[in-house]
Chain A
Amino acid sequence: MSARLDLTRYKSLAGLLRNPWPQFLIRILALAGFLFTILAGLLGTPVGSHNFAIIFVWIAWWSALKLIFIPFGGRFWCSFCPIPMPGEWLQRGGLLVRGNRTVGLGLPWPRRLTGAWLQASGFLLVGLFAAVTLTTPRVTAWMLLGFLVLALTMDLIFAPRTFCRRLCPIGGFTGLYAQVSPLEVRVKDPQVCATHSPKTCFLACPWGLYPLTLKSNADCGLCLECLRACPSDNIAINLRQWGADLHPGGRRLLAEAFLGLIMLASALVDAAVFLGPWGWLKVAAYSVGSRSWWAFSGGFLLLALVILPAMFILAVWLSARLAHPQLDLRQTLAHRSQVLVPLGLMAWIAFTISFALTKAGTIPSVLSDPLGWGWNLFGMAGQAGTGQVTLLSLTVQAVVLAVGLAWSCRVARRISASLREALPLAVFAFFFNSTMLWLLAA
Chain B
Amino acid sequence: MNAWTKVLLLALLGLAILRLPLPIPAAVPQQRLIRIQSSRYAFSPGEIHANTGDTLTIELVSNDVAHSLSLDGTDFSLSAEPGQVAVGTFVAAKPGVYRFRCTIPCGNLHPFMLGILRVGPDLFFLRGLALLLLALIVGLWRSPTKSAPPTRTAKSSITVLAV
Contacts and interface: CB of A to CB of B under 8 A. Distances in A.
Interface of A: 46-50, 131-132, 135-136, 247-252, 273-280, 282-283, 286, 320, 323-324, 326-328, 331-332, 335, 358-359, 386, 388-391, 394-395, 398-399, 401-403, 405-410, 412-419, 421-423, 426, 429-430, 433-434, 437-438, 441-442
B133 to A, nearest CB: 7
15 contacts: A49-B110, A135-B112, A248-B145, A250-B162, A252-B161, A277-B114, A277-B116, A279-B41, A386-B103, A398-B18, A405-B136, A414-B147, A417-B144, A437-B132, A438-B125
Contacts of B47: 277
Given A328-B152, A394-B124, A401-B128, A282 B112 contact: yes
Interface string B101-118: 101010011111111100
A406 B136 contact: yes
A442 B108 contact: no
B140 A426 contact: yes
Main secondary structure, interface of B, reads mixed
B144 A406 contact: no
A327 B152 contact: yes
Contacts of A248: 145, 147-148
Interface of B: 14, 18-19, 39-44, 46-47, 70, 72-73, 96-99, 101, 103, 105, 108-116, 122, 124-125, 127-129, 131-136, 138-140, 142, 144-152, 154, 157-158, 160-163
Given A283-B41, A406-B138, 10 more contacts: A249-B147, A251-B162, A282-B41, A324-B149, A395-B19, A402-B134, A409-B139, A417-B147, A430-B136, A442-B125
Contacts of A414: 144-145, 147
A399 B10 CA distance: 12
B42 to A, nearest CB: 2
A49 B136 CA distance: 39
Main secondary structure, interface of A, reads helix
Contact of A410 (B46, B129, B142, B162): B142
B69 to A, nearest CB: 12
Contacts of A394: 97, 124
Nearest to B101: A386
A323 B163 CA distance: 21
Nearest to A332: B150
A358 to B, nearest CB: 8
